[in-house]
Structure 1
Amino acid sequence: MKLITRKSYGFRTQNAYETALYHNLGDLPFPESTHRFC
């Protein structure tokens, strides 16, 4: 966690920081789908 927060200075948005944090924790959320399949 400390490594991610140290690297976080390069992220421009809060969303990019949170995505990197989730990715490194192994709990990356699925993006909302633009299509609905039958």
Structure 2
Amino acid sequence: MKHLILLNDPPYGTERSFNGLRMAHAWPGTAPWPRSPSS
């Protein structure tokens, strides 16, 4: 299954795009979201 994630935000000044990329990277993993601090 393929997913397309669009991040429509300015590249500087906010962390929303970075947080979106982090979530997209963690999505197909086996760890539950949100990840526990110990992992």
Q: What is the TM-score when the length of structure 1 is the normalising length?
A: 0.37
Structure ranking higher in helix proportion: 1
Q: What is the TM-score when the length of structure 2 is the normalising length?
A: 0.37
Highest relative contact order (Cα 8 Å, sep 6+), 1 or 2? 1
